[in-house]
Structure 1
Amino acid sequence: MADLDTKAPACLAPISSDDAANMDIGVLGQQPGMQIYTQITYCYAVPDGNSRRRAHIVSTLQNGLARLAAAFPWLAGRVAYVEDDAAAAAAAAEGSGRYRFRPLAATPRLVVKDLATVAPALTMDALRQADFPFRLLDEAVVAPRRTLPGNPDEAHLASTDTPVLLVQAGFVPGGLLLTFAAHHATMDMAGEGEVIRWLHKACRGEPFTDEELAAGNCDRRHVVPLLAADDGDPAQYIPEQLVPVVSNHDASPSDTPTENWEVRAPAPCSWVYFAFSRTSLDAIKVAATATLPPTASFVSTNDALTAFLWQAVLRARRPRLVAHNNATTTVSSTLARAVDVRACLGIPASYPALVQTMTIHTTTVDDVCTAPLGDLAARLRAALAPAHLRQRTRALATFLDRGPHAQRDVRLSFVGPVDPAAGGLMLSSWTAVPGYALDFGLGLGPAEAVRRPAFVPAVESLGYLMPTAADGSVAAGLCLRDADVARMRADETFTALARFVG
Structure 2
Amino acid sequence: MTANSRDLHLSILDQTMLRQYVRNLLIFPFPDPSHTEAATNALRTGFSATLHQFPFLAGTIKQSDSPSTRLSLQYPEHIPPELVSRIFNSDFDLAANLIFHYDTLREGGMPPSRLPSDVFCPKVLRSHPGLDDPCAEGITSFAKGYPIPVIAAQANFIPGGLILSVYTHHSVVDGTGIARLYQVWSGHIRSHNCDEETPDSQHPSSMSPTPTQNNYTDPSLARRTIDTFATPPSFAECPEVRIPGTSASVPALRSTPYNLSAKVIVFTESKISSLSATLSAITNKRISAFIVLAAMLWSHITRARGPLLAEHDIQKTTLGIAIDHRKNLGPAITHSYLGNCATGLTTSLPLSTILSPLTITAESLAPVAVNISQSLSSVDLDWLKARISYFSRTPNSSALSLDLDIRNGPDLFITSWMHMGADYEWGIPGTMESGDGKSRRGGVPTAIRKPHWASEGSIIVLPRQKIGSHDFEVSVCLEEAEMGKVVESLRREMWVERIIDA
Give yes or no for TM over 0.5: yes
1:98 pairs with one of 59, 70, 89: 70
User: Is 1:22 matched up with 2:19?
Assistant: no
Distance in 2 of aligned mates of 1:374 and 1:461: 23
Distance in 2 of aligned mates of 1:375 and 1:160: 49
Letter of the 2:297 partner, please give it. Answer: L
- Secondary structure of 2:7's counterpart equals coil
Distance in 1 of aligned mates of 2:381 and 2:352: 31
User: What does residue 451 of structure 2 align with?
Assistant: 454
User: Is 1:333 matched up with 2:330?
Assistant: no
Measured on the aligned residues, the alpha-carbon RMSD in Å equals 3.3
Distance in 2 of aligned mates of 1:441 and 1:37: 25
1:135 pairs with one of 101, 113, 124: 113
User: What does residue 501 of structure 1 align with?
Assistant: 500
TM-superposed CA distance for 1:395, in Å, is 2.1
User: What does residue 261 of structure 2 align with?
Assistant: 270
- Secondary structure of 2:309's counterpart equals helix
2:304 pairs with one of 316, 320, 327: 316
Distance in 1 of aligned mates of 2:447 and 2:308: 34
Tell me, yes or no, if the aligned pair for 1:436 and 1:449 is still in contact at 8 Å.
no
TM-superposed CA distance for 1:478, in Å, is 1.0
1:66 pairs with one of 48, 59, 69: 48
2:27 pairs with one of 40, 43, 65: 43
Tell me, yes or no, if the aligned pair for 2:266 and 2:472 is still in contact at 8 Å.
yes
2:234 pairs with one of 229, 232, 235: 232
Gaps of 5+ in 1: 1-17, 89-93, 248-263
Distance in 2 of aligned mates of 1:320 and 1:72: 50
TM-superposed CA distance for 1:70, in Å, is 1.6
TM-superposed CA distance for 1:98, in Å, is 2.9
User: What does residue 203 of structure 2 align with?
Assistant: none
TM-superposed CA distance for 1:437, in Å, is 3.1
Structure 1 residues 455 and 71, CA gap change in structure 2 (3 angstroms): same
TM-superposed CA distance for 1:203, in Å, is 2.0
Letter of the 2:176 partner, please give it. Answer: A
Give the share of equivalent positions with the same residue, in percent: 20
Note the alpha carbon deviations across 1:278-308, whole angstroms, 9 max, x for none. 212213313422442xxx5222121111111
User: Is 1:475 matched up with 2:473?
Assistant: yes
1:382 pairs with one of 363, 374, 383: 374
Note the alpha carbon deviations across 1:393-420, whole angstroms, 9 max, x for none. 2222222223407x9xxx8633222333
Tell me, yes or no, if the aligned pair for 2:404 and 2:412 is still in contact at 8 Å.
no
Distance in 2 of aligned mates of 1:426 and 1:146: 28
- Secondary structure of 1:126's counterpart equals helix
Structure 1 residues 412 and 448, CA gap change in structure 2 (3 angstroms): closer
1:486 pairs with one of 470, 484, 487: 484
Distance in 1 of aligned mates of 2:111 and 2:285: 37
2:384 pairs with one of 393, 397, 408: 393
Tell me, yes or no, if the aligned pair for 2:95 and 2:158 is still in contact at 8 Å.
no
Gaps of 5+ in 2: 200-208, 210-214, 248-254, 358-363, 433-442
TM-superposed CA distance for 1:492, in Å, is 4.6
Distance in 2 of aligned mates of 1:414 and 1:441: 40
User: Is 1:434 matched up with 2:426?
Assistant: no
1:415 pairs with one of 383, 387, 402: 402
Distance in 2 of aligned mates of 1:484 and 1:130: 23
Tell me, yes or no, if the aligned pair for 1:291 and 1:373 is still in contact at 8 Å.
no
TM-superposed CA distance for 1:357, in Å, is 1.3
Note the alpha carbon deviations across 1:308-335, whole angstroms, 9 max, x for none. 111122122223434x42x5xx433111
Letter of the 1:46 partner, please give it. Answer: F
Tell me, yes or no, if the aligned pair for 1:365 and 1:423 is still in contact at 8 Å.
no
User: What does residue 116 of structure 1 align with?
Assistant: 94
TM-superposed CA distance for 1:476, in Å, is 0.2
Distance in 2 of aligned mates of 1:164 and 1:415: 25
Structure 1 residues 188 and 309, CA gap change in structure 2 (3 angstroms): same
Name the count of aligned residue pairs: 436
After TM superposition, the structure 1 stretch with the greater mean CA deviation from structure 2, 113-122 or 353-362, is 113-122
Distance in 2 of aligned mates of 1:124 and 1:441: 16
Distance in 2 of aligned mates of 1:311 and 1:224: 38
Structure 1 residues 489 and 126, CA gap change in structure 2 (3 angstroms): same
